[in-house]
Amino acid sequence: MDAVIIAVVGPTATGKSDLGLDLAEALAGPAEIVNADAYQLYRGMDIGTAKVREQERRGVPHHQLDVLDPHEDASVARYQAAARADIAGIEARGARAVVVGGSGLYVRALLDDMNFPGTDPGVRARLEERAEREGRRALHEELARLDPAAAASIGPANTRRIVRALEVIELTGAPYTANLPRQEYVRPAVQLGLDCDRAALDARVGARVERMWDTGLVDEVRRLASPEQGGTGPGLGVTAARAVGYAEILAWFRGELTEHEAREHITANTRRLARKQMGWFGRDPRVQWLDAASPTLLDDALQVVAAAGAGTLPRPGEGPVRRSLGA
């Protein structure tokens, strides 16, 4: 049986990177870390993503860091293939994989049964033309015949999703719903969620933004942004330019915000991101929540990992229900 993959998840600023490194050092045998933060994939986006610096990685190998240039768009499907290959390589070396990150979709893509059907511009164009000519309701009725569950969930007003569902059905020969993600691990795994009281989390976020600002976040964005974006570098692509911390400073460079407003917006948007991440992971009943502020956090995490390895964790919905501290 493969060793259980350990995933440290949860909102930003809760200490996921530190716990991941602590676990990698404390586990019996070697361990390697696989990043699951979408923006830490980018080279040069270091301060604003709270990327662990190479000299602070304690000699633990890290994967899926600095694999994209900032002008490239990230792809969940590409990440899934590359990160799963990393995990296979880690296991082949007799090491343990520790996944660390707060990008929920990337965590799901890595751990769960999630398929990414391709696209066909010709098929999509034909369906879009039909939607214009016949009306979206006609296409929705066709979807209802082919995949009633998909039609019920999408509804007749969402042309883009109706077209995509019909495209997937035509390309795969299977119902659209057959390709939707399921909460089903492709390999044995356990998710350790780091939880935090809302007030404490807000304070952590504020301290993190202040630390990033003081250690050169503005200069980092300027080095990456193109002259057209107000910087001196090669430019940030659509995906990278949306990252919290980068988007607000780019808006300042464009004259849309003052420096003070940019800083305030980063703090507010980071707190908003933390709430969103907590909501995403909070909907997954498989996450084993731990108090990020606990003085026994590492021991608590190791106990959960041991229980997962022994198969003694409660099944989702069968164990004690624990509300998120940050909810």
User: Which residues fall in the annotated binding site?
Assistant: 10-17
Tell me the three-class secondary structure of 12-55, residue by residue: CCCCHHHHHHHHHHHCCCCEEEEECCHHHHECCCCCCCCCCCHH
Give CA–CA dist 151/275, Å, rounded: 30
Give CA–CA dist 122/271, Å, rounded: 42
Helix (H, G, I), strand (E, B) or coil at 118: coil
CB 248 within 8 A of CB 269: yes
Give CA–CA dist 316/258, Å, rounded: 47
* Residue 147 φ/ψ, nearest 5 degrees: -155, 85
Q: Which H helix or E strand runs over 220?
A: helix 217-224
Annotated binding site for ATP: 10-17
Give CA–CA dist 50/248, Å, rounded: 16
Among 136, 179, 132, 134, smallest CA distance to 161 is for: 136
Give the number of residues written for the chain: 327
Annotated binding site for substrate: 12-17
Helix (H, G, I), strand (E, B) or coil at 271: helix
